[in-house]
Amino acid sequence: MKHSIYLAAFASLAYGKTAVQLCAGTAELSAITYYNISQPGAYNRTTYVDPSTGICGHETVRYPAISSLAPLFGEVSVHLRGPMNISQLAVYQVPTEAYKMRKRNTVPFYNRRRALKQRDIHIDNANHALLDKRTWANTTNCSSVSTVTSTVTATDCGRGVSSISTALPNITYVGPPLPCVPTPDAPSTTTDVLYTLATNLSSSNCTCQSPPTITQDLERHPKAVLSPIPAQSSTPISDKAEVRKRAAAWDRVAYYTSTAPAQATGFSFLANLGDPQKSGTFDYAFGNSLSFVTPAGNRVASESEPFDGTLDTSEYEIAVFSDKECDLNCPYWRPNATSHYAWSGSSKAFFIEFQMDHYQNRGSDYGLISDAPAWWFLNAAVPRILQYGNDRNNIPCSCWSTGCGEFDAFEVLGNGGERGKSTLHRQGNLEGGDSNYFKRPVGGMLKFAVVWHYPHITVRVLDDDYDFPESLTEDQIEALVAYDPDSWVHSLFSIGD
């Protein structure tokens, strides 16, 4: 009964939302590029979840086109629904984002949670609030600088109320002159320094050559030396362009293989099965939260366990996050839920090898469609709060309904369907789905990639012999996302101009 509280909402959200996208005369493709998904907008971010009243609180977040708050440019979680066999799964990030991920606190598999010390910081709005005011310099043109102060409310159960109202000492970038760049998530073009701009350099005519100023509180690591990329040749590299290409390699930050015994690095496998006695939580207002899940993906686990690679039917789905546990820097999550970091950045890549054979649901499906596998991505704030369901005022608890972002990469929309569809969902902003499709992999594995390459997303079928290497060069990424206007198997679907 715990699992079924919001199944009706699940049916309308996961299936009805894209059925109208189906149309006659579509074609089987090998790649689709969603062109220019970057536009400004707004959505309602969840600020608290109160299980005692069944009410959620929200605040409006307005984002520019190139902000990390923009839907799907921030953290995204990976979601898988059966029937499906997953052989491999890999995540790649640009060096700046990979560096951020590696410094987080890792939760290993079989982590013996009962023996771990209690978490220092808990998210619980009933406790005292810690106000953290962040101030940074925002360069709007070459001659003026404005100061912006943002107040973020978080909680600290172990320390009393404190307030930081003064800006920390500025840290100045040291290196060659920098041009204005279009996105704060874009990788650095220097070979020995990684940096992330803390502001939106919005002037299209900006020709500044002076370095940006970044405060320590907003940018935790303004400088980091790149790890050396394994040399492909003993010949010294003299071409500066080639040096930059190699330095900008996309790192594989997470990898999974189901080959027995199943192995995973950088992943946590979760499901909406929360049980306070094991992991996650449950209450009668919001149902089950995210929790660790057993290898079969169908029961709650008390600690992180490797997935066995099989989701038997459409009755089962899992959420895949990093192995980094949420801390104070993580956006708000439902109290006592199992919460992990997901993968951020306007440039990132996800590879999968999967098979989607036909199997009907075995139990009562509560109106859910049967034999409809899917692979999709959500703004990670959605599952960390409440993936399916409303509060007691019938107001959507998560930010999904107001457009914080979902991308369906390969979704079968009907019982026993043979077509995998893709769609961008972003209510209140530009959205849509290409009417063409990918062939469902029945009876054999399919290798498939989803690549965010600012400001576009490309989904592509990979060659059977494609390897999931430890890193990808810019040349390899460019080959994956390259669009040929004369191609009959690569569609270009324009979201924005």
Q: Which pLDDT score, from 0 to 100, does residue 261 have?
A: 76
C-alpha of 113 from chain center:
25
Residues contacting residue 104 through CB under 8 Å, at least 6 positions apart: 322, 324, 325, 327, 341
Helix H, strand E, coil C: the string for 187-213 is CCCCCCCCCCCCCCCCCCCCCCCCCCE
Are 18 and 423 a contacting pair, CB within 8 Å? yes
Please enumerate in sequence order all residues whose Cβ is within 8 A of that of 12, keeping only pairs 6 or more positions apart, or say none.
Answer: none
Average pLDDT of span 312-325: 95
Q: In this structure, what token pair is assigned to residue 355? A: 């098979």
Q: If pLDDT is split at 50, 70 and 90, which confidence band does 69 have?
A: confident
Nearest to 211 by CA among 183, 177, 171, 169: 177
- Would the pLDDT of 57 be above 80? yes
Q: pLDDT band for position 497 (50/70/90)?
A: confident
Helix (H) or strand (E) holding 392: none
Give the contacts of 478 (CB within 8 A, at least 6 positions apart): none
Instruction: Look at strands 347-355 and 84-93 and give their pairing.
Output: antiparallel
Tell me: cis bond preceding 187? Omega within 30 of 0 counts.
Answer: no
Q: Residue 13 has what pLDDT?
A: 34
95 versus 187: the higher-pLDDT residue is 95
Apex 491 CA angle, 463 and 352, nearest 5: 35
Is residue 419 packed enough to be buried (19+ CB in 10 Å), middle (13-18) or exposed (0-12)? middle
Measured from the Cβ of residue 176, the count of other Cβ atoms closer than 10 Å reads 11
For the chain, the straight-line distance linking the first and the last C-alpha, in angstroms and rounded, comes to 47
Which DSSP category does 135 fall into?
E
Distance CA 4, CA 388 (A): 10
Q: What is the mean pLDDT of residues 32-42?
A: 96
Q: How far is CA 380 from CA 407, 449, 453, 480, in A?
A: 12, 19, 19, 25
| β-bridge partners, 146 | 138
The pLDDT, as a whole number, for residue 310 is 96
Higher-pLDDT residue of 239, 207: 239
Q: How far, in Å, CA of 185 to CA of 219, rounded? A: 12
User: Exposure of 122 by Cβ count < 10 A (0-12 exposed, 13-18 middle, 19+ buried)?
Assistant: middle
Q: Whole-angstrom Cα distance, residue 391 to residue 388? A: 10
Indicate the pTM of the whole model.
Answer: 0.71
pLDDT the model gives residue 260: 76
Which contacts (CB < 8 Å, 24+ apart) does range 340-343 have? 340/107, 340/268, 340/270, 341/75, 341/101, 341/104, 341/380, 342/75, 342/76, 342/77, 342/78, 342/380, 343/75, 343/76, 343/91, 343/93, 343/97, 343/101, 343/253, 343/254
Verify cis geometry, omega within 30 degrees of 0, for the bond prior to 236. Answer: no
Q: Is 492 exposed, middle or buried (0-12, 13-18, 19+ CB in 10 A)?
A: middle
Looking at the chain, the whole-number percentage of residues with pLDDT higher than 70 is: 66
d(CA 319, CA 385) in angstroms, rounded, equals 13
Q: pLDDT digits over 264-280, tens only?
A: 899 999 999 999 999 99
The band of 145, judged by pLDDT with boundaries at 50, 70 and 90, is very low
Stronger pLDDT, 1 or 40, i.e. the higher one: 40
DSSP-derived letter for residue 367 is T
Query: 3-state DSSP helix/strand/coil percent for the chain, to nearest 5?
Result: 10, 35, 55
pLDDT digits (tens, 9 = 90+) for 72-98: 999 999 999 999 999 999 999 999 999
Q: Quick one: how far is CA 335 from the chain centroid? A: 20
Q: Which of 277, 363, 478 is nearest to 4 (CA)?
A: 363
Distance CA 426, CA 405 (A): 5
Q: What are the tens digits of pLDDT across the range 420-463?
A: 999 999 999 999 999 999 999 999 999 999 999 999 999 999 99
Which of these ranges, 177-181, 246-250, 426-430, has the smallest mean pLDDT? 177-181
Contacts 24+ apart (CB under 8 A), 11-20: 11/366, 11/367, 11/368, 11/369, 13/388, 13/400, 14/81, 14/374, 15/368, 15/369, 15/372, 15/413, 17/423, 17/425, 18/408, 18/411, 18/413, 18/421, 18/423, 18/425, 18/433, 19/413, 19/414
